[in-house]
Amino acid sequence: MSDVIKANGFTNQTLGWKAWLDVVDANAATPEQNKVLEASHPQAKTSDYYLLLVHEPHILDQRSFTYNAIMYAPGGLNRADRELGALAVSRINGCVYCASVHAQRFEQLAKRNEIVRDMFVDPATAAKNERDAAVIEVATALTRDVSGFDAQNLQVLKDQGFSEIEMLDLIHSVSVFGWANRLMQNLGEPVFPAE
């Protein structure tokens, strides 16, 4: 990982997450729960988040399928821009855990981290180039006023040469994290590493 960044309660460090409700004991999970956990994420059997959501395995299965299709599908918008959009919405919503994950992924994929500290300080002024600005602007518009989002909001992406599928991928990544942020923030809390 690059240098540790901390600002306004956000960080690019690897955080834990602690559920406020009872989680499924991975050793006592049903066959259906185990199958869904194994398909969801490599660390799902040790993650409070997945062990909480797997109380309803069918719903977690659908959530994981949707998430993986949005964030990891080949083609369309590049992964770094998907992660930048997810970072922007997570920062705006105040989801410290999700912001840390997407800051790390963005840094890994884009091979740059100068935008991360600035994103933690103020997403409105964080962009380092016009493409970043377009991604952040659309993420902000969708996050702050989804009912007012329209074709005019997409013009900034068109002006940067985004294709229709790239625009759709960005809308999906921002939207799925608007939803995921609310789950994370309402069901538990981030756990910071010991100093």
Tens of pLDDT, residues 8-62: 999 999 999 999 999 999 999 999 999 999 999 999 999 999 999 999 999 999 9
Contact predicate 166/76, CB 8 Å = yes
Residue 141 lies in a domain: yes
Q: 36 and 117, same structural domain?
A: no
Average pLDDT over residues 154-179: 96
Q: 115 and 44, same structural domain?
A: no
Residues 68 and 23: their CA atoms lie apart, in Å, by 23
Tens of pLDDT, residues 111-150: 998 999 999 999 999 999 999 999 999 999 999 999 999 9
Q: 82 and 64, same structural domain?
A: no
Q: 154 and 96, same structural domain?
A: yes
Q: 66 and 84, same structural domain?
A: no
CATH number at residue 164: 1.20.1290.10
Q: 119 and 65, same structural domain?
A: no
Q: 159 and 102, same structural domain?
A: yes
pTM for the model stands at 0.94
Q: Which domain holds residue 24?
A: 16-72
Average pLDDT over residues 98-122: 96
Is residue 1 over pLDDT 70?
A: no
3-state secondary structure of 108: helix
Tens of pLDDT, residues 66-97: 999 999 988 999 999 999 999 999 999 999 99
Residue 188 lies in a domain: no
Q: At what angle do helices 114-121 and 79-93 cross, to 10 degrees?
A: 20
Q: CA torsion 59→64→66→71, rounded to 10°?
A: 160
